[in-house]
Structure formats: structure tokens, C-alpha cells
Amino acid sequence: MKEVMTVANSIPLWIIAFLVVALVIFQAVIFLRITTKTAPNVGMSANEVRSAVKTGVISSIGPSFGIAIVVVALITLIGSPLTLMRIGIIGSAATETAAAGIGAQSFGVQLGGDDFTTQALTNVVWTMCLGGTGWLIFTALFTKSLGNIQKRVAKKSAKTMATVSLAAMLGVFGFLTSEEMMLSVNHTITAIVAAGSMVIIMGIAEKTKTQWLKEWALGFALIIGMSTGYLSTLI
């Protein structure tokens, strides 16, 4: 395992990881600049843009804490550069951990076990990278076509497009949430408390017309949910 970690934390892998993350940061900056310039054309004021950016930043804090916990464990198994590269692209610690485990099992070893060799690490890296390639290919091939479909539907009925988009989001988050809730009673309680907290906070913000509370609502709900999950494991 010592030899594996030497390879996993080698300078070439650090260089590749930094290049990949730098590309992601570059894309984020470009998208942010484009949206800022386009905002006036769609009727958004400077204050609304700042509010949207602030909401996005705050909303990313909660999930980042959850990812950080898994990242620490993943670093001890596949090294810091690979963890940085994969989490920087996909952003899902659970997905990458599962992919790493599948890659190791397909090689006939246990991830991080005594029989985990550099060849097994190579198989893990291929599994993780190829596992995310499907998303990239689908996005590259069908994003434009789906965008054209969205425009056609929106022209006929804007409400229909809004309903489909909302239903898709509810379906995705509902599927992910229900899957977690089935793991244990603690997971179920945590999900219910987090969702309930979000509804209550947004209701208070709407009644009191408090803009900053709307922006922090998701962050507060995530903190309450994580705190509930931790406390429920102690009971």
C-alpha cells in the first residue's frame, strides 16, 4: 500500500490534477462573466445578480461540508491528486467512492486492502474516469438538441416548460432523497427534518419579506439536517 500511495501522490499526477481543476475554474469564471453581461438583457438588475451569486455561494457551503468528510477518507485510499481531480469535475464524493470500490472489486481486490497494488489503482482510475465520460458525451451530443426542444415547447406554452422543469428537479431530488431515506431510520429523520426546516425558513422569509433569509435558507436547512443526523446517531 505504501508503494501505491507513492504513485498516487506523485508529481505527474499533481500536475494533471491541477490542470483539470484549473480548466474547471476557468470555465466557471467565463460562465459567470457571460451571465453577468447577459443579465440586463433578461431584465435582471445588478442587485438581483449579486443576490443570485450570493445565494449560489451560500448554498454550496453545506454540500461542501458533506463532501469534505468523504474526501478525507478517499484521500487515504487513492491519494490527494486523484481525489482533487475527480471531485473537482464530478463533485459527488459518493459517486466517486462507489466508482473506486467497483474498480477495485473488478480487479479482484478490496479498495485500500493489503493486496491493493499499483495495477489495481490503475484499474480504479480508469473506472472513475470512464464512469464520468458518459455524462460528458451525452452533454456534448444532446445539449443543443434539448435546448431546441425547450425553445419549441416554451413558445407553445411557457407554463408547460416550467412544469416539466420543476417535475424533473423534483423527480431527481426525490429519487436521491428516497434512496437515502431507505438506508436507516436516522437517514429518514434527517431528510424529514432538513426538508421541513427548508419549508419553515422559506415560509418565514416570505411572510417577513426578508431577502437575506431566502438566500441563507438552504444553508440553514443543510446545517440543521447534518446536526440532526449526527445527534440521531448518538441516541
93/117 same-domain check: yes
Is residue 12 domain-resident? yes
Is residue 151 domain-resident? no
Where does a domain end: 145, 176, 192? Answer: 145
The pLDDT value recorded for residue 26 is 92
Number of domains in the chain: 2
Is residue 150 domain-resident? no
Is residue 59 domain-resident? yes
- Which of 79, 88, 72 is closest to 19 using CA atoms? 88
Q: Report the C-alpha gap between 221 and 190 in whole angstroms.
A: 10
Is residue 46 domain-resident? yes
4/86 same-domain check: yes
Where does a domain end: 145, 179, 208? Answer: 145
Amino acid symbol at 81: P
Q: For residue 178, what are the domain limits?
A: 157-235
192/93 same-domain check: no
Q: Report the C-alpha gap between 203 and 201 in whole angstroms.
A: 5
Which pairs from 134-143 meet CB under 8 Å and 24+ separation? none
Is residue 95 domain-resident? yes
Cell reading at 193? 427534518
Residues of the chain with pLDDT under 70: 1, 59, 62-63, 65-67, 69-70, 91-94, 215
194/129 same-domain check: no
Where does a domain end: 145, 169, 197? Answer: 145
141/162 same-domain check: no
